[in-house]
């Protein structure tokens, strides 16, 4: 029997938390170049709270309830810009997944789009501003392309993760136009955006787990 979307969401949050804990120091160092150096601890704190909240949700709860609890906990606990954005994104992701008639690649792709739109409306940034969106938008596009070509969720995730990795690396060439790194923009050039890199850490971990 296939597991419920809520159970998958719970497991993937735990997987993401584990992956971020391994990379937290590197993410903090990256954020210290032009930001305040807290991106690693913030992501770890937020994801730990999110994963714990998802675990506490009722066993029968739907994916919307689980991801709303997780997203709210992330936003409240992380205490940074990225936490508020990730938190809002999870709430939108869950609402969209819960409303979908089934969780094929097309509908999962639509939920990813809703999450990205939420990040744009909350943070006011666009691709090109050197934020997490510079990894998320290419992830979304590659996912949708693979889904349109008839790929299943796993295949679309693999295509999306590969695009996100490449795009996160390419943020090194950009100059920040949003967030805390903007005043120190020239220091940031030559280094990738911390939030774009942490997005690839999460997506890579999710993609690996879904392939198992």
List interacting residues with ligand ADP (CB under 6 A): 31, 35-36, 38-39, 42, 80-82, 85, 119, 123-125, 131-133, 178-180, 193-196
Q: How far is the CB of 80 from ligand ADP (least distance, A)?
A: 3
Q: Which does 192 bind (CB under 5 to 8 A by kind): ligand ADP, Mg ion, none?
A: none
88 touches, from Mg ion, ligand ADP, none (C-beta below 5 to 8 Å by class):
none
- Choose between 5 and 71: whose C-beta lies nearer to ligand ADP: 71
Of the candidates 136, 112, 116, 111, the one whose C-alpha atom is nearest the C-alpha of residue 195 is: 136
Least spacing, CB of residue 82 vs Mg ion, in Å: 7
Q: Taking the CB of residue 71, how many other CB atoms lie within 10 A of it?
A: 28
Residue 85 partner contact from Mg ion, ligand ADP, none using kind-dependent CB cut-offs of 5 to 8 Å: ligand ADP
Q: Find the shortest distance in angstroms from Cβ 88 to ligand ADP.
A: 11
Residue number, 42 or 160, with CB nearest to ligand ADP = 42
Residues 6+ apart with CB under 8 A from 94: 9, 63, 64, 65, 66, 67, 68, 70, 71
Which residue is associated with the tokens 């596009």? 141
Instruction: Identify what 124 binds: Mg ion, ligand ADP, none; CB under 5 to 8 Å per kind.
Output: ligand ADP
- C-beta of 207: minimal distance to Mg ion in Å? 25
Cβ closer to Mg ion: 38 or 134? 38
- Pairwise CA distance, residues 59 & 120, whole Å: 32
Q: How far is the CB of 23 from Mg ion (least distance, A)?
A: 15
Angle in degrees, 0-180, between the axes of helices 105-123 and 81-99, rounded to the nearest 10: 150
Residues binding Mg ion (CB under 5 A) = 31, 35-36, 38-39, 80
Q: Which residue matches tokens 């299943």?
A: 152
Helix, strand counts (H, E) of the chain: 9, 0
Reduce the DSSP state of residue 79 to 3 states and report it.
coil
State in angstroms the smallest separation of the CB of 38 from Mg ion: 4
Q: Which two tokens stand for residue 91?
A: 């709430």
User: Which secondary structure element, helix H or strand E, spans residue 95, and what is its range?
Assistant: helix 81-99
Q: Which is nearer to ligand ADP, 26 or 107 (CB)?
A: 26
């Amino acid at each position: 029997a296939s597991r419920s979307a809520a159970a998958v969401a719970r497991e993937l949050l735990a997987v993401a938390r584990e992956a971020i804990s391994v990379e937290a120091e590197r993410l903090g160092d990256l954020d210290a170049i032009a930001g305040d150096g807290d991106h690693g601890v913030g992501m770890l704190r937020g994801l730990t709270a999110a994963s714990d909240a998802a675990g506490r949700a009722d066993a029968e709860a739907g994916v919307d309830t689980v991801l709303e609890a997780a997203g709210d906990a992330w936003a409240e606990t992380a205490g940074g810009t990225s936490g508020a954005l990730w938190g809002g994104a999870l709430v939108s992701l869950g609402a969209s997944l819960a409303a979908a008639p089934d969780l094929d690649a097309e509908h999962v792709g639509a939920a990813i789009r809703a999450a990205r739109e939420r990040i744009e409306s909350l943070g006011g940034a666009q691709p090109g501003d050197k934020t997490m969106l510079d990894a998320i938008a290419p992830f979304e596009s590659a996912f949708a392309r693979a889904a349109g070509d008839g790929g299943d969720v796993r295949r679309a995730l693999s295509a999306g993760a590969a695009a996100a990795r490449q795009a996160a690396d390419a943020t090194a060439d950009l100059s920040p136009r949003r967030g805390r790194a903007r005043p120190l923009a020239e220091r940031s050039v030559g280094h990738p955006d911390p939030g774009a890199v942490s997005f690839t850490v999460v997506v890579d971990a999710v993609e690996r787990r879904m392939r198992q």
